[in-house]
Amino acid sequence: MNHALLLALALLAGTCSAQETPLFRAAPAATPWPERTRVLVHPRTEYSIDGGRLVRRVDGGATEQMLCTLPEGPGTVRRLSSEPTSATYVLAERGLFIIDPSVVHLDPVERTDGFPEGLIVGADVDGQRRLWIATRDAFACVDTRQFFARVFEPGSEVPPGPYEDVAVRDDGRVLLRAASGLFVYRPDAQAPPRCRVVRAAGNAWSEATRVELAADGRLELEVEREVGCTLRYRSQRHHLWYPLDLAQPVITGLEPGEHALEIASFDRDLRSSTPVIVRVHVPVPKRFAKRTLSLFGCGAAALLALVLAFCARRSPPGPIGTRGVVWVLSSTALVLGIGLQILAAIVPHARAWPFVGFTMYTEVYREGERVYQPALLAHNEVATWELDLTQAGLHGDGAWPALLPLVHGTAEAKRAFVERYAREKSNSHLRGYSVVSQRRVLTARGPIAVAPLVTYQYSAEETR
């Protein structure tokens, strides 16, 4: 009997050890599970779970229940997790939600590229603004700046499912509860990822190279591969990272003009390598060159003027006269102006034309969609408020071009901005800023403000 018991225990131990991977280890039986039912976020806002509901208390005042953009609500709330930007993630019966002290509505976490399918059953955020999540069949790490994800491979990188819950310990280790047991994972154990561009547009590449592309704006890259990493790129004109196929990295659709593209590798823990900046030039297609368009425009203006003059000459009978000439010229100018604006909405590089300061956009919005508006939030030790970009001395062709120096600029430039504003507005006690995408969800009840996405956060104290 004793031998049979020992054999059974040995088989059980062998089964448990077989579930381990090179990354995940079986956690000791006495490992405590972090239960987070109350969090304190800036500025002095406390969220807590009360009978399965999410409630908020500000400055020790009365509690208020949070609303939800879903008509049916989030269901029973299980866990709260707050990141350094004050965004709070709420794990509930109907999935994962996000809320911020600036809004009163819970909103489901958005799922962009790489996100696993299925209901999220476990989630927790760490101090690096990474969200660790699990569905029944997948375990993944999520970048909370943009909500793109990297799914771990079941069986090789992560023990097989089904999964039940996820929690992050105070020391940064991640606990994963699966049907086969409790496992622990230590992120960032390996060296940070690296990225090296070998060739660009078919030619050897170096940092001093400006890559000349064809008018179609297609850039083919050859990047040194790194096991376990994914590849992404973004333009320094914006902040969003887009995925690249590591086997055949190709960037398409670049508009005519100069571009500075950042290429970076992301490891399984979504740590980014130092971006490689590839500068490219895309020529204007010959049919849209300024010389061609100028000749076409002059010819169209002359033809239009002749047609209008002929119409003015025939009705009423007689010579055109001064008033007729003025009418012909003004009508020609009006029609050409309208045509120029229509053409500006069609031609991709219309922003570069002289005297054309914008490109017209036509968008159709539908119920349930989210509308984004870039903004700059300032903060000190006790408060957060929005800054007017013009009054803050930031200018550009739109909000993002004005904000990008505060994201891509040097540390000295960012510190100089904070010090200048604090000096000019001495009563602000400015300590830092956040570049965010403010969001509204379009519903049948009207637009509802939801938690902003924090693209970049800067604190002057951290750089001293």
pLDDT digits (tens, 9 = 90+) for 377-399: 998 887 888 999 988 888 887 78
CATH code: domain 197-284 is 2.60.40.10
User: Would you state the pLDDT for residue 4?
Assistant: 47
User: Would you state the pLDDT for residue 8?
Assistant: 41
- Rounded Cα gap, residues 214 and 241, in angstroms: 23
User: Would you state the pLDDT for residue 13?
Assistant: 44
pLDDT for 9 beyond 60: no
Between 134 and 363, whose confidence is greater?
134
The tens digit of pLDDT for each residue in 424-441 reads 888 888 889 999 999 999
- Rounded Cα gap, residues 137 and 116, in angstroms: 9
Between 432 and 325, whose confidence is greater?
432
Mean pLDDT of the region 277-294: 75
The tens digit of pLDDT for each residue in 286-302 reads 655 556 666 666 766 66
Range with the poorest average pLDDT among 10-14, 31-35, 81-85, 291-295: 10-14
Task: Work out the pLDDT band at 322, boundaries 50, 70, 90.
Answer: low
Task: Work out the pLDDT band at 354, boundaries 50, 70, 90.
Answer: very low
- Give, to the nearest 10 degrees, the angle between helix 321-346 and helix 290-314: 140
Q: Which CATH superfamily is domain 2-185 in?
A: YVTN repeat-like/Quinoprotein amine dehydrogenase (2.130.10.10)
Q: What is the mean pLDDT of the chain?
A: 83
User: Would you state the pLDDT for residue 18?
Assistant: 44
**Domain coordinates of the chain in residue numbers?**
2-185, 197-284, 287-348, 370-463
- Rounded Cα gap, residues 135 and 281, in angstroms: 43
- Strand runs labelled E in 343-445: 370-379, 384-387, 432-443
Query: Closest Cα partner for 80 from 51, 54, 62?
Result: 54
Do residues 201 and 194 make contact, with C-beta atoms less than 8 angstroms apart?
no
User: Would you state the pLDDT for residue 15?
Assistant: 41
- Rounded Cα gap, residues 230 and 264, in angstroms: 9
In DSSP terms, 47 is beta-bridged to: 39, 56
DSSP for 250-262, written as a single string: EE--PPSEEEEEE
Q: Residues 170-198, buried b or exposed e (16+ Cβ, 10 A)?
A: eeebbbbbbebbbbbbebeeeeebebebe
Q: What percentage of the chain exceeds 70 in pLDDT? A: 80
- Rounded Cα gap, residues 250 and 218, in angstroms: 7
- Phi then psi dihedrals of residue 303, to 5 deg: -65, -40
Angle CA 402–410–423, to nearest 5: 70
- Rounded Cα gap, residues 303 and 339, in angstroms: 14
- Rounded Cα gap, residues 197 and 199, in angstroms: 6
